[in-house]
Amino acid sequence: MRRLPLPAILLRPIDTKFKQISLIYRGSMALHEALIALQTGCSGLLTLKQDDPHFKKRLPSIPYVHQGELEILDRLTQLGRHYHTIDEYVQNIIKTKTSGLYILSFAFELRSILQSYLQCLSQLEHECLQNTSLTLSHLLISLTDYTLLFPALVSLINTLQSSGYRGCQILDVIRRCTLDGNTILSSTMKKLLCAGHRILIKQIISILTRGQVYDEYGEFFIGLNNSINVEAMGMTTPSISRMTSAAASRSHSPERALMQTPQPNSTTTPGYNQYLLIPEMLPSYIPLPLADKILFIGESWLLLKKNDDDDDDNDRNTRNSLGINSIDYDEQNHLVQQQLHALTLADDLNMFELERIIERARIDLSLTLRNLFVDRFHLIDELEQIRGFYLIERGELYTLFVNRTSQLLLNTKKSSNAIENDINEVFKQCLNDLHLDTILTNSDKFKFKLNFPPNELANQEISAARRLLSRTQGSNDNSSSPSDFWSCGWANLSIQYKVKYPMKAFFSENCKQRYNDIFHLLIVLRYVQTELNSLWLAFKNHHRNSLVWHLRNTMSFFIDNFQYYIQIDVLEYKYQHLIRSIQSSTDFQQIKHLHELFLADIQTHSFMLLGTAYQSIKNILSICASFCLTIKQQEKKDNLDENVLRGFGKDFNDEIKLLFGILGMVQKHNALPHLGVFLTRLDFNRFLTNNNGSFGEF
C-alpha cells in the first residue's frame, strides 16, 4: 500500500542503528534519534528499555544531551506518536472497508497528509546527512505545521471514533474543525471536508440524474423508506391518528425516522415514494429545503422510471411514454453532472451554487411532472374522484347510501368481512342506481372500499376515555349514552383508496388518512342529518307535542349550518382555490405542497385540530343521533317521556354553549378566517347572542 520512499534509516534494523549511532557524532545521533521518534513515536536510544517496543518513558536526563534538546525531542516524540495513531487509524479503515465511503475517503485524504509528512521527513533526513551541523530545533521548525496539525487530527479522529458518527454526519464534525483561525489547520481540514464532499456530490449526482441512491453503507441523508409496507397495510388505528395525522406530516416524527434502518442491499428497486429524508444524517450546513428538493428530484425520477408491483397494460403504455421523456433529459443530466463535478474541484463547497443547480434541475423536472400529472394523468379528474368519494361531493349518492345502510351500520359494533362486503355491495348498487358509474368512474378501477378499523381495543380505550371525559365535565349521560354512538359502524366508517402507480406520488398514505379523517366527520354529519330528516317525516302527521319539533328543528338547524359551513364555505371554497392553483402552477412540488395545505386547511377549519371544540362537536352529533334513536323507539309506544326530551335538550344546549364558548375565543384571536361565517350564520337573527349562546330552553 505505501509506495513512497521511506527514509533510509527506517529500513535498517535496530541493532545496526545502535552500531551506527555509537560511531556517529553525538549531534547527528540525536537527529537520527529524533527522526525515528518522529516516525514511530518512540525516542529510541534515549530510553532505558530499548527492547520493549511500547516503552513510553524517556530517561529523566541524559548526561550528554542538553535539557532543552530533550524537551525538543519530547515534542518530536509526541509528534511521532500522533503520526502513529493517525497511521494506525488509516490502516485500520482501509483494511476493514466496512466503515463507509465517507470515512474511507476521509482516511485516504488523511493518508495523503501523512505521506506528505513522511516526504517531509525524508527531506529532513537528507538534509541531516548532508549537513551534520543541523540542530534539533531545525527539525522542530521544519515540522511546525505538523505539530499544529496532528493534534487536531488526532482529536478529530477521537471524536469520530467515540461518537460513532458515520456517513454524512462526519461532514458536520469535520466542518466544525475547518472553522479555525489557523490557516494551515483550516485549509487541511477543508481538504478533508472536500474529500467527504466528493462522495456527497457523487451521491447527489446519482440521485439527481438517475434517481438512485448509491449508498451501500447507509450514509446518505436520503434513505429507503421501509416503513411504507407497514403503512400500506392501511388503517393504523385511524381513531388515534385522526387527531394527529395532520401534525405528523409537518414534522417528521422521530419514531418514523427510527424505524428507518438503512438498506444494505442497494440493488433493490424501490417503488415510488420509498425514499425518506433522514434528518439526523443531514449535515447542518445543508438547509432542509435543499435536502427536500433533492429528495423530491430523486422521487420524481423514481416516478418516471420505476415500475410498480401491480401494473397492467395501461400502465406499461404510460411507462413507455415516460421512458421517452427521460431520454430527453440526458443532456440536461449531463449538464447537471458537469456543474456539480465542477463544484467538487473547488476547495470550498459552494452552497449557493449547489442550491442554484439543484433548484434549476428541480424546476425543470417539476414542470415536466406537472405537465405529466395535469395533462396526461389528469390529476384534476383524479381530484374530482377524490372529492366525489371522500368529500361527499355527490350528495345524492351518500344520501341514498346512508338511507340504505343506516340500520346496518348502526347495529354494527365490530368489523367483519361479511358486513364490509355488504356495505360495498350496497354502495355499488347505489352507484348503479344513480347512474353515477359514468361520472365516478374510478369506483372499480381504484377498488373503492369501506372499512372498519380492525383495532377494537383501541376503540374501547377511546370510548372509555371519552366516558371519563364526559364524567369529569359533569354532563350526565342519557339512557342511551352518547359515547355508544362512537363505537357503532357509522362512526368508524372509512374508505380504503387504492392508488395506482403514478398517483402515488400525489396521494401519500398520510394524505389518505387525512382524507379519511375528513370523511369521518362528513359521513357522520350526513347520517345525523338524514336521521333528523326522517324524524321530520315520522312526525309530520302528528300536529302536536311541539317540544320534539322544536328540539328537532334546532338540532337540524345546527347540523345543516355546520354541514353547509364545512362543505361549501370551507371545502368547496378551498377546493376551487386548489384547482385554480393547480391549473396555473408550473411546479409539481408546489402543487403537492398546495394539496397538503388544502388538507391542512380543511382540517383546521372543521375544528379537527382544536381538540376540545372537536370533541364538543362530536358530542353534539352523538346527542342528536341518540335523540333520533330514542324518539324512534318511543314513537311506537306513542308516549314520549317529556323528561327524556328535556334531558336531550339540556345536553344539547350545554354542548352548544361549550362549543360557542370555545369558538368565541378562537374568533377573538382571529385564528380562523372562515369561522366568522359559521358563527354569523348560526346567529343570523341574533338569537344566540340574545340567549347567552343557547338555542332556547327545552
Q: How far is the CB of 647 from another protein (least distance, A)?
A: 18
User: What DSSP character marks residue 7?
Assistant: P
Q: How far is the CB of 405 from another protein (least distance, A)?
A: 13
Q: How far is the CB of 297 from another protein (least distance, A)?
A: 36
Of residues 253 and 546, the one with the C-beta less far from another protein: 546
Which residues neighbour 180 within 8 Å (Cβ) at sequence distance 6 or greater?
152, 186, 189
Helix axes 588-605, 238-250, angle to 10 degrees: 130
Q: Which of 5, 254, 395, 664 binds another protein (CB under 8 A)?
A: 395
Between the two ends of the chain, the Cα-to-Cα distance in Å is: 93
Q: By CB under 8 A, is residue 569 in contact with another protein?
A: yes
CB 594 within 8 A of CB 494: no
Q: How far is the CB of 629 from another protein (least distance, A)?
A: 18
Q: By CB under 8 A, is residue 664 in contact with another protein?
A: no
Q: How far is the CB of 609 from another protein (least distance, A)?
A: 21
Of residues 486 and 698, the one with the C-beta less far from another protein: 698
Of residues 333 and 534, the one with the C-beta less far from another protein: 534
Q: How many residues bind another protein (CB under 8 A)?
A: 58
Of residues 25 and 684, the one with the C-beta less far from another protein: 684
Integer CA distances (angstroms), 38 to 72, 78, 224, in order: 11, 8, 47
CB 505 within 8 A of CB 273: yes
Of residues 254 and 395, the one with the C-beta less far from another protein: 395
Q: By CB under 8 A, is residue 635 in contact with another protein?
A: no
Of residues 61 and 438, the one with the C-beta less far from another protein: 438
Q: How far apart are CA 16 and CA 9, in angstroms?
A: 10
Integer CA distances (angstroms), 562 to 20, 138, 607, in order: 100, 88, 11
CB 185 within 8 A of CB 148: yes
Interface positions, 508-547, toward another protein (CB under 8 A): 529, 532-534, 536-544, 546
Q: By CB under 8 A, is residue 667 in contact with another protein?
A: no
Beta bridge partners of 223: 276
Q: Which of 229, 438, 639, 643 binds another protein (CB under 8 A)?
A: 438
- Nearest one of 25, 93, 111, 10 to 65, comparing CA atoms: 25
Q: How far apart are CA 329 and CA 342, in angstroms?
A: 20
Identify the burial level of 685 via C-beta atoms within 10 angstroms of its C-beta, where 0-12 means exposed, 13-18 middle and 19 or more buried.
exposed
Of residues 30 and 594, the one with the C-beta less far from another protein: 594
Q: How far is the CB of 626 from another protein (least distance, A)?
A: 19
**What is the phi/psi pair of residue 148, to 5°?**
-80, -45
**Angle at 275 (CA atoms; ends 272, 279), nearest 5 degrees:** 160
Q: How far is the CB of 692 from another protein (least distance, A)?
A: 13
Interface positions, 398-417, toward another protein (CB under 8 A): 399-400, 403
Q: By CB under 8 A, is residue 95 in contact with another protein?
A: no
The pairing of strands 494-496 and 222-224 is unpaired
Q: How far is the CB of 374 from another protein (least distance, A)?
A: 21
Q: Which of 184, 248, 410, 439 binds another protein (CB under 8 A)?
A: 439
- Nearest one of 402, 412, 403 to 487, comparing CA atoms: 412
Q: By CB under 8 A, is residue 335 in contact with another protein?
A: no
Q: By CB under 8 A, is residue 636 in contact with another protein?
A: no
Q: How far is the CB of 445 from another protein (least distance, A)?
A: 18
Residues of the shown chain interacting with another protein in the complex, contacts defined by CB under 8 A: 392-396, 399-400, 403, 430, 433-435, 438-439, 529, 532-534, 536-544, 546, 549-550, 553-554, 556-558, 560-561, 563-564, 567-569, 571-573, 576, 677, 680-685, 687-688, 695-697
